[in-house]
Structure 1
Amino acid sequence: MLHPILHSVDDQGIATLRLNRAELHNALDDTMIVQLTSTLETLIADARIRAIVLAAEGISFCAGHDSAWMQRMAGFGQEEIKQHARLLATLLGTLDNCPKPTIARVQGSAFGIGAGLLACCDVAIGASEALFCFSDVKLGMIPASVAPYVMRAIGERATRRYFITAERFNAGKAKRLGLIHLVVEHEELDMAVAQMCRQVLLNGPQAMAEAKQLVRELGGRAITADAIETTIARIAQVHASTEGQEGVAAFIEQRAPSWIHRE
């Protein structure tokens, strides 16, 4: 039986999550969403995992909603629709709030939910031929579940345009908008992802988690006295931590800190 979600972990603690419905362009249904959320939660809870790569099999990253799932939902009432929407909201929230570094490997088209997933990742690396789209309005629907994450990534004005026009845009445009960070040729994609993984492995795992939390706390806030106090408190907290003390000691002693993998 084909497993819709695959995952593996290498000897350095890099976990790779793969959407595995290539024949359906990795479109998501409720079962796949629940499995992806559960796998993410397991990886988050595993102290051995240093970073998570979100990838996909086949030519597409994720084509959005599975058509069979949409057909089933066509007969649902509002409460049932809300229950299914909550499944997707939980997935996106779990990915967005993951304390570990998350890297999206986008080898092909990312539509709707697919674009939402990569907007929740810390780093998104896309192949030059990748395409992006929010086509919900063509069906008389709206991309509400992904809206908070997409708006944060590309801004309100650009979101308004692409939500109402349902235009497709290419990887170059996605990079300029801020939806992805790096565009490479397809044959360079794995190398670029591996390089990004090597980069995060150099850093303190708890420090990266704290840095992500700091950004969440400060996001959208004015630079007020309270915001400055938040930064001061966080500096002191992290400096006093075991990892912070180890990092400073390693710098002074000119050695690698304990979290760097040694062959």
Structure 2
Amino acid sequence: MAEQTIEVEQRGAVAWVWLNRPELHNALNESLIRELTLVLRGLSDDPAYRVIVLAGRGRSFCAGADIESMKQQGAASATANRDSARELADLFHAIASSRKPTIARVQGAAIGGGLGLVSACDIAIAAVDAKFAASEVRLGLIPATIGPYVVRAIGTRWARRLFQTAERLTAAQAEKIGLVHEAVEAGGLDERVDAIVSDLLMGAPLAQTAAKDLIDAVVDRPISAELIEYTAERIAVVRAQDEAKEGLSAFLEKRKARWVPAQS
């Protein structure tokens, strides 16, 4: 029987996506990478879901690459190695480009590829005992496929240090440098994630997707006449859409907008 590397749990409009290799600290192998990529792409387009929470069964979120997979990659051809690396890169892109808000719920180890998963999510909440590292250089490797997402999360200055030292960070240190948004007591991890989910469900789904696109469009660009015109055009288009009209009507009528779940 094939290993079920991913479990999807529906909690109302929220998909909890569980990495399911707890005995191996949810290490990434080819099966998990492929399955997770397919699941995330499907959820991104599924109207039944509003938010995606990425979590790990057992003691760790994700301890990085599976040892057996690493051995196989070391003996593989250049073409096979490239294909395998591209699949991993596609996974991180599937998270980062999701049309739905994504939250990383982190406990235990988030190392190597696990660090990439955290960085690719929109929001990251960690237990205070979580540990983070870009460990690749200690194996003679580089954090290539996770690199764009980690650098985007923590900036080039910290990336220069962590990519070369491969040192482990505590959750408090990860919060300080912007890798995670909050570090909370382990017993309160799910409660804090649920609170953020509740906040997300109050927002308009199309507006949230557009807001994500806006960030990608304006990041690192100078505030020029061109950018000013772009932002003016974006808000003008959004204002004319049905979702914006419903949001304004709900505000003026002092009621919840139609997209807010009944239990919120």
Cα displacement (A) at 1:181 = 0.1
Match of 1:242 in 2: 242
Which blocks of at least 5 consecutive residues in structure 1 are unaligned? none
Q: How does 1:109-258 map to 2 (within 5 A)?
A: 109-258=109-258
Segment of structure 1 superposing worse, 1-10 or 19-28: 1-10
Identity %: 44
Cα displacement (A) at 1:219 = 1.1
**1:45 aligns to 2:45 (yes or no):** yes
Amino acid in the other structure paired with 1:133 = A
Cα displacement (A) at 1:44 = 1.0
Partners of 2:102 and 2:231 lie apart in 1 by 23
Structure 1 segments, 4+ long, off by >6 Å, are none
TM-score, normalised relative to structure 1: 0.98
Amino acid in the other structure paired with 1:170 = T
Partners of 2:195 and 2:100 lie apart in 1 by 17
**1:69 aligns to 2:69 (yes or no):** yes
Cα displacement (A) at 1:157 = 1.1
Matched position secondary structure for 2:61: coil
Match of 2:89 in 1: 89
State the number of aligned residues: 262
Matched position secondary structure for 2:75: coil
CA RMSD of aligned residues (A): 0.9
Cα displacement (A) at 1:77 = 2.1
Amino acid in the other structure paired with 2:237 = Q
Partners of 2:41 and 2:175 lie apart in 1 by 29
Cα displacement (A) at 1:78 = 1.8
2:45–2:99: 8 Å Cα contact kept in structure 1?
no
Partners of 1:57 and 1:215 lie apart in 2 by 31
Q: Deviations over 1:195-214 (max 9, x none)?
A: 01111011101111000000
Amino acid in the other structure paired with 1:9 = Q
Q: Deviations over 1:73-116 (max 9, x none)?
A: 11112221110010011110010011111011001110011011
TM-score, normalised relative to structure 2: 0.97
Amino acid in the other structure paired with 1:177 = I
Partners of 2:137 and 2:200 lie apart in 1 by 38
